[in-house]
Amino acid sequence: MNFTDTSLLSQRLAEARARHQTLDSLPPEQIPADFGAAYAIQHEILRLSGSEIGGWKIGSKSETGPIQGAPLPAADVYEDGARLPRDAFTPLALELEIAFRFGRRFEPAQEPYSEAEVLAGIGSFGTTIEIVASRYAAWPNVDKLAQLADLQNNGALVVGEFVPYREDFPFVAPSLRFSFEGRNVVVEAAKNPAGDPRRLLTWLVNHCAVVRGIAVTPEMVITAGSYTGMFFPQSAGTASGRIEGLAPISVTLF
């Protein structure tokens, strides 16, 4: 994948996101060659859309597996109670997640920040609902690096009220509820596949500060993986979630 191919896929994904459309095809030469190319495309999408980074999504498929992430456009980060059109997202899935904000800045650096320093920097946490969407018509049967380039399948993020960080919170498997129009829609056990989601934060800080040369700021919301699996609503309605010990959250699709 050369520079021209990278630029072309960035442009196609940015336009598809802005127009709420999907790409019918993905030529093999446009598939990112490696993680570095996929992450470069993510940032090019934000540049082309003129959007600042409003937050990050990070995750891992297992408790010891590799970590991935994507910047989230500030324009697609919403407050609790948001009303969003269903036809803006194809496909459309909902996940109940936990998110963090730091109480300090992590400036670009030459050497990695330590895990102890990163964890000591956590300032607050709260609940989010991620809208999972894709710019590829063939999703989920799409190359994984191509999905990573597409902001890791993010459509939007709804952010609930944050509270001061508590180290003793049961981050691995908290008690929670997630419903759509009053019906339980938790499709998996209430457990984050990454294990303790805090383990993802050191990767993010160093991915930003050391690899990308980007500061991580207290304003950024860092959502850290689903506790519930993906629920695909088939109609308009309101999704409501509650992670015990945190404020409730909802989003209405119309």
pLDDT digits (tens, 9 = 90+) for 8-42: 999 999 999 999 999 999 999 999 999 999 999 99
What's the rounded Cα separation, in Å, for the pair 141 and 43? 23
Range name among 21-25, 151-155, 187-191, 219-223 with the lowest pLDDT average: 187-191
Q: How many CB atoms lie within 10 A of CB 110?
A: 7
The b/e string for 120-144 (b: 16+ C-beta within 10 A; e otherwise) is ebbebbbbbbbbbbbbbbebeebbe
> Which of the listed CATH numbers 3.90.850.10, 3.40.50.300, 1.20.1250.20, 3.40.50.2300 matches domain 53-253?
3.90.850.10
Q: Whole-number mean pLDDT of the chain?
A: 95
What's the rounded Cα separation, in Å, for the pair 99 and 104? 16
123: helix, coil or strand?
A: strand
In one letter, which amino acid is 247?
A
Global model pTM greater than 0.85: yes
In one letter, which amino acid is 89?
F
Residue 185 is predicted with a pLDDT of: 94
* pLDDT mean over 158-187: 95
* pLDDT mean over 44-70: 96
Residue 228 is predicted with a pLDDT of: 93
Band (175; pLDDT cuts 50, 70, 90) = very high
Q: 4 pLDDT exceeds 60?
A: no
Q: 5 pLDDT exceeds 70?
A: no
Parse the chain into domains and list their residue ranges.
53-253
* pLDDT mean over 89-103: 96
Range name among 1-5, 43-47, 49-53, 166-170 with the lowest pLDDT average: 1-5
Q: DSSP label at 23?
A: B
